[in-house]
Structure 1
Amino acid sequence: MMDKILSNYSASISEFKKSPTKILNNAKGESVAILNHNTPYGYFVPSALYEQFINLADDYLLGQEVEKRANSKNKTIPVSLDAL
């Protein structure tokens, strides 16, 4: 069974060690699958893409917390805008 490669670009660990700049330039800002014996070992992800992943994860977790609190059985406390 072959593992799915979740990237349009890939390189062996040996290739990546020899010329990382060349491989990253060829990927044009996209992720690169690093292969070990033709199996994905890891992914090199550009910093801008990593930042997007982190922001998506933060948004997802925040949404989970909002949903949890909206569905909680805790009593709400009415507050007038003047009291704020």
Structure 2
Amino acid sequence: MAITNSIYAKATVSITELRRNPGQVIEEAGDAAVAILNHNRPAAYLVPASVYEQLLDLLEDAELAELARSRRSEATIKVALDEL
């Protein structure tokens, strides 16, 4: 049985090359993710801080949306704006 590993990045770099010059890898990546390969298989992804922060925001939004969906069937309580 052959195991295939999808790579979810347009750029790849070996762990060895990343060790040699991490600054260059980060600089060349720009705003894109880089797949870090170990024995030609993805071992990790290097993502820019801004992309990671966006992912965290999306995960938080998804969690809040799920919470809102789960509470739809609960009883509602009317509150006047002046009471808040």
* TM-score of Structure 1 vs Structure 2, range by shorter chain: 0.7 to 0.9
1:2 aligns with 4
Structure 2 residues not aligned, in runs of 5+ = none
Identify if the C-alpha distance between structure 1 residues 11 and 83 changes in structure 2 by more than 3 Å, giving closer, same or farther: closer
TM-score of the pair, normalised by structure 2: 0.86
> Structure 1: which 5+ residue stretches go unaligned?
none
Q: 2 CA distance for matches of 1:79 and 1:56?
A: 30
Q: CA shift at 1:71, angstroms?
A: 2.6
| RMSD of aligned Cα (Å) | 1.5
What is the total number of aligned residue pairs between the two structures? 82
Letter in 2 for 1:60: A
1:21 aligned onto 2:23: yes
Q: Secondary structure at the match of 2:13?
A: strand
2:73 alignment partner in structure 1: 71
Aligned position for 1:59: 61
Distance 1:3 1:76 in 2: 48
TM-score (norm 1): 0.86
* CA deviation vs aligned residue, 1:2-36 (integer Å, no higher than 9, x gap): 20110011100000000111111111221111000
When residues 39 and 79 of structure 1 are mapped into structure 2, their CA distance, relative to the original with a 3 A threshold, is: same
What is the percent sequence identity of the aligned residues? 37
